[in-house]
Structure 1
Amino acid sequence: MIMKKSMLIAAMFAAGVAFAAPLQASNLTPVGIEIQEGKVKIEPDTLPDPVKTSIANDEEVKSLTITEAWQWTLPDGSFQFEVVFDNGTEEKLSKKYDKDGNEIKD
């Protein structure tokens, strides 16, 4: 009797899995935030003032247009930022900064 119940439960489970409809990407609603590798895309004008000041004082990038800005949270709760600049080439120039505007060199 117990064996029949076990087999019946297993069969019902297998049937349920077989008939479950897969989630289709076309049913998802696009959101205004893009996430990539734990980074969150932000508007360039929302960068912290120290980062904006650092960019304004950097001869290499101060005259370039910011095309993208990304923010991510570190394990200690602090933030880092990646700023992508249009330097007129196919490969854009990218720099990373901490919340205080200090450039992070890889």
Structure 2
Amino acid sequence: MLLIVNAGSSSIKLKVFDGSDEVAGAAVSEIGPDGHRAALAEGLDRAGVRIDRLTAAAHRVVHGGEGLTATCRVMPDVVSAIAACVPLAPLHNPANLTGIAAVSALA
């Protein structure tokens, strides 16, 4: 199953797909800057999705600059590129990076 994550500064939204079928979704709001990992776990729990059932995750990132213009695998260089674009999306990219870290921590 595929986890889609939209991590914001005060909320995290997720959807889970099995093939092309959306099978679950959840949103957790009013989270603090350090609460994304707990909010992600709570959202998966609300949606009834076990982390061990997930095979991949995708993240919505607001700004990847000129170097990240298409879908790509999140690797350390991609995280660095997103971080370098924080000045272009200061309200969004830090939360996007926190969401990426939260998924990585739960994996």
- Structure with greater Cα Rg: 1
- Please classify the TM superposition score into its range, dividing by the shorter chain length: under 0.3
TM-score, normalized by length of structure 1?
0.24
Higher relative contact order (CA 8 A, sep 6+): 2
